[in-house]
Amino acid sequence: MTIKVLIADDHPMFRTGLRAALHGAQGIEVAGEAGDGPTAVTAAAQADVVLMDLHMPGSGIEATRQIASAYPQVAVLVLTMIDNDESLFAAMRAGARGYLVKGAERDEIIQAIRAVTSGQVIFGAGVAAKALAFFTAAPTGGRAARPFPKLTDRELEILRLIAQGRSNGDIARRLFLADKTVRNHVSSIFAKLQVADRPEAIVRAREAGLT
């Protein structure tokens, strides 16, 4: 059986390099490429495995969720530069079956493709310890862990309002803050979450239960 792979990444040179790396791998065929989330969702119908970048137009996490819902037989294997806890757990909750960080060796990527095709869940060496810590951690005092620990309490409050679809002006009025202060907080939130825009921040927030 030939495993058909879709490469979803917004950097053409990376897609070219990954295609070259997979060329010649026994039983693996690159069936297509996508430069954004919506294109990846559409093209996933013709693939067995989607190598999914998270930080690209249309949100890799949202694309992962849609693919997992529409094509449960297709395995999404995340291959991204982002190795923070929030992205890892959001991707897995969205339905990804594996998570590798860019820089993984060719053999590791090929083995991971074969593994997720057979139903296994795979974590690269760079994130395996984080995944193990998350899944084995016992709840503290019966309370869920605070999402996005890198954010300050104020930033978390603003992110919650962003997830509700509120504008910066609305947030400023609700929290009695200057518009510029809210804009600064929003910029800081985007930087800490490593998201490019408001829709991607909303996806991340809703994945973490901030509504």
| Run of H or E including 8 | strand 3-8
- pLDDT band of residue 143 (cuts 50, 70, 90) is very low
144 occurs within a structural domain: no
Tell me the H-state helices in the chain.
Answer: 12-22, 37-43, 60-70, 85-94, 106-117, 125-136, 153-163, 168-175, 179-193, 198-207
In a domain, 129, yes or no: yes
User: What is the DSSP secondary-structure string of 46-81?
Assistant: G-SEEEE-SSSTT-HHHHHHHHHHH-TTSEEEEEES
Q: Say yes or no to pLDDT of 136 above 60.
A: no
pLDDT higher at 207 or 157: 157
At 144-195, the pLDDT tens digits run 567 888 888 889 989 989 988 889 999 998 888 899 999 999 999 999 898 8
Per-residue pLDDT tens for 46-105? 999 999 998 888 889 899 999 999 999 999 999 988 777 778 888 888 899 999 988 889
Residue-level pLDDT at 137:
53
pTM: 0.67
One domain, residues 72 and 161: no
Residues 125, 28 share a domain? yes
Is the separation of the CB atoms in 49 and 77 below 8 Å?
yes
* Same domain, yes or no: 180 and 91: no
**Maximum pairwise Cα distance, the chain:** 61
Number of domains in the chain: 2
> 60 and 13 in one domain?
yes
CATH number at residue 77: 3.40.50.2300
The whole-number pLDDT of residue 133 equals: 61
Residues 93, 197: one domain?
no
Q: Which domain holds residue 115?
A: 3-136
Beta bridge partners of 98: 77, 122
Name which of 28-37, 38-47, 130-139 the model is least confident about. 130-139
pLDDT band at 37 (very low <50, low <70, confident <90, very high): very high
pLDDT attached to residue 138: 45
Are 74 and 101 in the same domain?
yes
Is position 52 within any domain?
Answer: yes
Q: Given this model, what pLDDT does residue 204 score? A: 86
Residue 166: inside a domain, yes or no? yes
pLDDT, residue 206, reads 83
For residue 208, is it left (φ>0), alpha (ψ between -120 and 50) or beta? alpha
Residue 33 lies in a domain: yes
Verify that 34 and 124 share a domain, yes or no: yes
The one-letter amino acid at 88: L
pLDDT, mean of residues 10-24: 95
Tell me if 4 sits within 8 A of 47, measured CB to CB.
yes
CA dihedral 82, 85, 86, 90 (to 10 degrees): 90
Region 103-116 average pLDDT: 93
Q: Looking at the structure, do residues 16 and 111 belong to the same domain, yes or no?
A: yes
Task: Give the integer Cα–Cα distance in Å for 58 and 36.
Answer: 6
- Name the phi and psi angles at 13, rounded to 5: -65, -35
Give me the pLDDT at residue 82, please: 78
